[in-house]
Structures are given as structure tokens and as C-alpha cells.
Structure 1
Amino acid sequence: MKRSNTQRLKDSLEDDIINGRLAPGERLDPEELAARFQVSRTPIREAIHQLTASGLVTVIPKKGTFVARVGVEQLIEMFEVMAEMEGMCGRLAARRITTQELEGLAGALERCEQAASTGDTDEYYYENEDFHQRIYRASHNGFLVKEANQLKQRLKPYRRLQLQVRNRVSNSLSEHRTILAAIRAGDAAAAEDAMREHVLIQGERFSDFIATMKQFNSQAS
């Protein structure tokens, strides 16, 4: 899946923030970013807008853009809620998915497998996004889809970067296969459990990121 200059810039800044290379409270200089990434001001503005929506940076009028201080406790709470929302999406999808939607979901899993074979975790993440979005839509509950997407936007950088943990991509693929099998069988309870555990496993593998954020939040304070 080809990524734009904005997407590549945003992904790189996410990596730097989550892994502590950009510390909480540090100012992001648009001119320095333009020179570093060899891009114009437009993708920089768009990337900062997306990072603001994710809660990773804050824009202070007349002062600039700064790396946000992310609360670890709130992050854990968001993952718990996300797991329940995705579980509900899985349960409803198992009951309501159409034949066409099921075929599309199977195709999304195949693309995840192809991306995993390249060893590119970012490529896998964006195909993984499509797999999840198809399950959301197959729930046929517009309010749930809207709420799930809003929270997922906040968690996107953390869900993307946790795929860099050793063996996480292969485990994620295995979990996707279990989810698809449950939805295909119309087993709502199994689909709900598989989706919930899929996200909770992601959250549990955040210990390294959380430790890093605690360290840099402490230094910035």
C-alpha cells in the first residue's frame, strides 16, 4: 500500500515520539522538519494535524507545536475500551455480515499475509487496518463504527508501533485467521472473544513503550 509524504512523515514522527527520541514538551520546528524530511510545508501541516488528532502533539497558539505528555494510565484505559468495542464489532459482524463482505474480509486477510511476508511492519499495519475496518462495517451499526474509529484514531500510533515487537506480526496473523473463521462460521461469541483478545494482547505488549514514556515524562518534568 503506497504511502504519501504526509503518511511517511507522520509515521516517522510517531516512531520518534513513542520511542523517546522526541521527549514530551519538545518543540517541533516546521523548518527543521522540512529540511530533515525533504518535504514542503503542506505535508508537515497535514502530519501535525493528524498527530494532534492522535493526542501525540499539542499546538499552542503563538508558541508552536510541542510533543504531548501522554498519560500511561489513560492509555491503558483506552485499550481496555477499544478491546470491548472491537469485540462487539466482531460479535455483530458474525451475525450480520453479507456474503460480499465476507469475501472482502477474506481478501483483506490475504493482503495481510502478503504484507507480513515482506517483513515490513508498516505495510502490514495498513493492511491490518483494512481488515479491522471491514469488520467494523460488517457490524452494520453506524454509531458503533463511528465511536470505534474515533478511539482507534487516538490509539493508532501505539497499535502501529507495537507490531515491531518480535513475532507480533506472525501472532497477529494467526489471530486474524481465528477471527475470520469465527465470523465465517457465524459464531458470535467466538468472534467477540477473538477480537477482544486480539486487542488486549496488543495492549499487554505495550510494557516497553510505557516504560519509555514514563522515563521521558520524568526527564521532561
Structure 2
Amino acid sequence: MIELRQALSPPSEQTEQVGIAQQLCQALEDDIVKGKLPPGQRLEEPLLAKRFGVSRTPVREALQLLTATELAEKIPNRGVYVSLATPERLTAMFESMAELEGTCGRLAAKRMTSGERHNLERLHHELAETVRLGDSDGYETLNRSFHNTLYRGTHNDVLVDVTLSVRRRVAPFRRVQFQSLSRLASSHEEHQGIVDAILRGDVKAAEDLLYGHIMAVHEISQEYLASLRDASAQNDRVAAK
């Protein structure tokens, strides 16, 4: 259950409602990619509002956000249904993300200030501690900060906006990887190469390493979604008997 605060003024209520919708969307995303909400299941506003203890307005906004990630499809006159990206579509999304991250790495290696490089290195060391503790939630949070620091290091606001927009679409799939503790270690090892390249100003290495870093997640996501499709098909066969 998501805990929600009652806003006291209209401006605060509007700001809070956006935050609530994003929280609801992420909760639904996680349920879908973990197989708790199978493909084809209808997402009904009244039931979701009851489940999360909110009004239907933020639920409606959350479903709009969810369709933008292509984990749900709105069918006219029928409603919103859970869907999974095809392998081809998932590849297209991750290729776009990898190209953008690579570009961010190239520009960050060239443009980051000494303070920004120090901050990136500090985050990398903090990530090492979460790996040691097996803290997947902590790693996910710091990992987001690590990549955000890289984006800002490009000193290109337009590129940052575009990159964050595409990251929003692949975020549910990127979160899947952190269910595996072994992936935390390999992700951190990949970060080490990226940090080293940026600290020495190696633009080509930073670009190539970040591209490979994202495409590694693509492979994990493809395998994971294939398992969800297989499980859904198996359930359909059982139900049909």
C-alpha cells in the first residue's frame, strides 16, 4: 500500500498528485515485469484505486504513464490492458538508450569539471558498499544518481532531457537486473571502466563502455521477458484444459 498525504492547498495538491501517479505507475511497472500482472490482464481504475487507497484521478494518470512505457495498451472502448514489448521493440528502445548514454559518456569525458568527476568517483565508491552489503534497493537508487551525474556532466540540457525521456521508457526493464546480486557486482565492475575512462578524459572509451553497459542490460531484459511470455503461455494452456 502506498502511503499518501492529504494536500492542504490546490497548488500542493496538484504537485502531490503528479508524484502519486508516478509512484502508482512504478508499482504497476514492477508488478508487470515481475509477472504479477500477466499480459492481457485488464487494469481497472476502480480496483486499482481501492488497492492503493487513492482516488481514480491519479490512477488514470498512472495508466497514461504506463502506456507510454509500452507495458500497457489502451484499447478504445475497452480499457487498458497489460502488454509486453516485442523483442524487436525492446531492442529498439535499448539501442536508443545505449546511443544516448554513449553520447553522454563521450561529452562528459570531455566536459566534466574536476568537481563533477570527483562526485562521480564518490558515487562509484558508495555503490561498492551497496554491492558488498547485497543492498539491491540502495544500489538502484545510487545507480540512478551515478547516471544522472554523467548526464549533467555533458553540460547539454537538451541531451539530458532527451536521455531522461528515453530512460523513463526502459526504466522498468533496467530495474529487473537488480534482482540478481551477481548483476550488481558486474554492473559495478562495468562502472569502474566508465569512471576510469572519464577521469583520464578518454572520450572514445567512455562512449563505447557506456554503450556496452546498457546493451548488457538489454540482453538480461530480453531473457527475462521471454521467461514471462513463456510463463503466460503456459498458464493460458493450463486454463484452457
Q: State if a TM-score over 0.5 links the two structures.
A: yes
Name the Cα RMSD after superposition.
2.7
What does residue 8 of structure 2 align with? none
What does residue 97 of structure 2 align with? 82
Q: CA deviation at 1:131?
A: 0.8
Structure 2 unmatched ranges of 5 or more:
5-19
Indicate which of 145, 152, 174 corresponds to 1:159. 174
Q: CA deviation at 1:60?
A: 4.5
Indicate which of 194, 202, 205 corresponds to 1:190. 205
Q: Residue 101 of structure 1: SS of its match in structure 2?
A: helix
Aligned equivalents of 1:12, 1:81: Cα separation in 2: 25
Aligned equivalents of 1:52, 1:217: Cα separation in 2: 22
Aligned equivalents of 2:199, 2:193: Cα separation in 1: 10
Relative contact order, CA 8 A, sep 6+: which one is greater? Answer: 1
- The reply on whether 1:150 has 2:138 as its aligned counterpart is no
Q: Residue 158 of structure 2: SS of its match in structure 1?
A: helix
Aligned equivalents of 1:158, 1:105: Cα separation in 2: 24
What does residue 102 of structure 1 align with? 117
Which has the larger Rg? 2
TM-score scaled by length of structure 2:
0.77
Show CA shifts across 1:95-136 (max 9, x none): 111122212222332343344344342332122111111111
Tell me, yes or no, if the aligned pair for 2:174 and 2:221 is still in contact at 8 Å.
no
Q: CA deviation at 1:73?
A: 0.9
- The reply on whether 1:206 has 2:206 as its aligned counterpart is no
What does residue 15 of structure 2 align with? none
Tell me, yes or no, if the aligned pair for 1:19 and 1:212 is still in contact at 8 Å.
no
- The reply on whether 1:172 has 2:179 as its aligned counterpart is no
Show CA shifts across 1:141-196 (max 9, x none): 33322222221111010001122134001111111122111101111112112111
One-letter code aligned to 2:218: G
Identity %: 39
One-letter code aligned to 1:173: H
Structure 1 unmatched ranges of 5 or more:
none
Aligned equivalents of 1:100, 1:49: Cα separation in 2: 39
Aligned equivalents of 2:49, 2:85: Cα separation in 1: 25
Q: Residue 168 of structure 1: SS of its match in structure 2?
A: helix
Q: Structure 1 pair 104/28, CA: closer, same or farther in 2 (3 Å)?
A: same
TM-score scaled by length of structure 1:
0.83
What does residue 130 of structure 1 align with? 145
Aligned equivalents of 1:90, 1:141: Cα separation in 2: 12
Query: How many residues in Structure 1 have an aligned counterpart in Structure 2?
Result: 217
Q: Structure 1 pair 157/4, CA: closer, same or farther in 2 (3 Å)?
A: farther
Moved more, 14-23 or 183-192: 14-23
Q: CA deviation at 1:4?
A: 7.4
Tell me, yes or no, if the aligned pair for 2:43 and 2:80 is still in contact at 8 Å.
yes
Aligned equivalents of 1:116, 1:8: Cα separation in 2: 25
Q: Structure 1 pair 171/43, CA: closer, same or farther in 2 (3 Å)?
A: farther
Q: Residue 167 of structure 1: SS of its match in structure 2?
A: helix
Tell me, yes or no, if the aligned pair for 2:39 and 2:81 is still in contact at 8 Å.
yes
Show CA shifts across 1:48-98 (max 9, x none): 343233221234565433213422211012212221221111111111111
Tell me, yes or no, if the aligned pair for 2:124 and 2:192 is still in contact at 8 Å.
yes
